[in-house]
Amino acid sequence: MNRWLLHPAAKPVVFLLALLPFATLLGGALTDSLGANPAEALIRGTGEWALRCLWLTLAVTPLRLWFGWTALLRLRRMLGLFTFFYALLHFTAYAWLDQGFALEAILRDIAKRPFILVGTAALLAMLPLAATSFNRAVRAMGGRRWQALHRVVYAVALLALLHFLWMRAGKQLFGEVAVYGGLLAVLFGARLHAWRQRHRAPALHRAAPGKG
Amino acid sequence: LPAVRSSVAGAVTMEKLTTYAHVTGYNNFYEFGTDKSDPAANAGTLKPRPWTVQIEGEVKKPGTWDIDALMKLAPMEERIYRLRCVEGWSMVVPWLGWSLAELVRRVEPTGNAKFVEFVTLDDPRQMPGLRSRVLDWPYVEALRMDEAMHPLAMLVFGVYGEILPNQNGAPVRLMVPWKYGFKSGKSIMKIRFVEKQPTTSWQAAIPQEYGFYSNVNPKVDHPRWSQATERRIGEDGLFAKKRQTLMFNGYEAQVGQLYAGMDLKKFY
């Protein structure tokens, strides 16, 4: 797997794959083949792909820990930026197709509806992460500070899940929300487990000499 | 299905019809799945014949009507109604049927009959969606007696000149054009006259979001989206501004007096 991931074509291939949903939606919009309610199809489609990309981004570390696919790290930034890309498209589609770019109406809508507020918060929280995604930013900030900032992604994931849950709750459709929630629990669980092992190991180490 | 154009006030809008493909392919009918393309794909298992409709409760003439006899109870009319879904989209549909009031009068409600309840079929062999627990089945909707007696409240047997396709609620459904679409029960097998206000399916599921009345009202938002505007399916282009939703879906002149003095924010 690692060897495949290190292949020079790996990155471009993943890039094109991640762009495929966008191309499909755009093509559908241009040829009017998104069904009876194309606006809804675009808003939902971009939102769902933002969720999927975010979950994939968050899967990099667990997959690395479980299977030793360390080369996945090469793809993480791109997946993260695709998350931001689809989230931005999602918001733009909402602001344009649902609200006609009426700024006042959008602000009122965000303030009035918790599920839209939460979605907007998730998008805004992604801004600093996207803005500091290039190599120079990591050097300028220092690895530790950069990493601390980028832990905001966990909050983004929870906000995104809540946004999705509240949207679906209006129609009592919890099936997919449960799948995303379960996956996120696994992705978070893997990190928690790794963190506990890291912190237990030195403690044992220190205790050992005392016991003689 | 032969019919005459309705002479009921407000029953024939001049707006452009939504295409047959959209009317029969974009449906909310959770008994066949929660996606709007599910009913058209899955409703083939529904058997609309033979079919009976049971009339029960506070009436002097309860009983069971065969669907073909029921259809002949009154002259079939074509009515062109706006349909506004609670989700924020709308259609213009040529329905075939007649005023629900015709049936109500025929079965002679007693003085105790204050509400009319409509129960949808709940046979999992015919309706695969019943296996999901999205709602408590059967699907129940209801109207206040005066709403049920309003000439615009309609029992529907056909659409676009034909017998109702399964996905649109065959063989008989309700159509109450001034209320959100979900108030109009489909594939009705029981009509019950009761004294107490029934709890309807969506009201039971999420009471803070769906009320008993569910009149189309641009001033009372759904808690999670605005009801001020709507998109007409197949007509309003992707980048067109959404159209303003009208009070009582544009039927205010006909039905406004039913709600005189009521706080529609409270009775949503």
pLDDT digits (tens, 9 = 90+) for B48-92: 999 999 999 999 999 999 999 999 999 999 999 999 999 999 999
- Bond preceding residue B171 cis, omega within 30 of 0: yes
Give the model's pLDDT for residue B223.
84
* pLDDT grade for B239, boundaries at 50, 70 and 90: confident
Nearest to B89 among A37, A109, A175 (CB): A37
A170 in reach of chain B (CB within 8 A) = yes
Chain B: residues touching A (Cβ < 8 Å):
22, 25-26, 34, 36-37, 89, 132, 134-135, 205-206, 209, 221-226, 231, 233-234, 238-239, 241-242
Q: Count contacts between A and B (CB, < 8 Å).
A: 53
Q: Report the pLDDT averaged over residues B245-251.
A: 98
Closest by Cβ to A36, choosing from B224, B233, B239: B233
Mean pLDDT of B227-256: 92
Query: Which residues of chain A are under the pLDDT cut of 70?
Result: 201-212
The confidence score (pLDDT) of residue A204 equals 55
pLDDT at residue A190, rounded to an integer: 95
pLDDT recorded at residue A171:
82
The pLDDT value given to residue B116: 98
What's the pLDDT score for residue A211? 42
From B73's Cα to the closest Cα of chain A, the distance in A is: 35
pLDDT over 90 (residue B225): no
pLDDT at B241: 82
Per-residue pLDDT tens over the stretch B111-162: 999 999 999 999 999 999 999 888 999 999 999 999 999 999 999 999 999 9
Sort strands B77-84 and B4-5 into parallel, antiparallel or unpaired: parallel
Query: Looking at residue B12, what DSSP letter applies?
Result: B
**Whole-angstrom distance, CA of residue B174 vs CA of residue B164:** 12
Give the Cα separation of B46 and B42 in Å (integer).
Answer: 9
A181 part of contact set with chain B, CB < 8 Å = no
Q: Which residue of B has its CA nearest to A171?
A: B134
The pLDDT, as a whole number, for residue A210 is: 45
Mode of pairing for the β-strands spanning B188-194 and B52-57: parallel
pTM: 0.87
Class of residue B261 by CB neighbours under 10 A (exposed 0-12, middle 13-18, buried 19+): exposed
What would the pLDDT profile of B185-200 be if each residue is shown by its tens digit?
999 999 999 999 999 9
Q: Do the Cβ atoms of B196 and B190 come closer than 8 Å? A: no
Region B21-44: mean pLDDT is 96
Dig out the tokens for B127 from the structure: 């309706």
B102 close to B70: Cβ distance less than 8 angstroms:
no
Asked if A170 lies within 8 A of B242 by C-beta distance, the reply is no
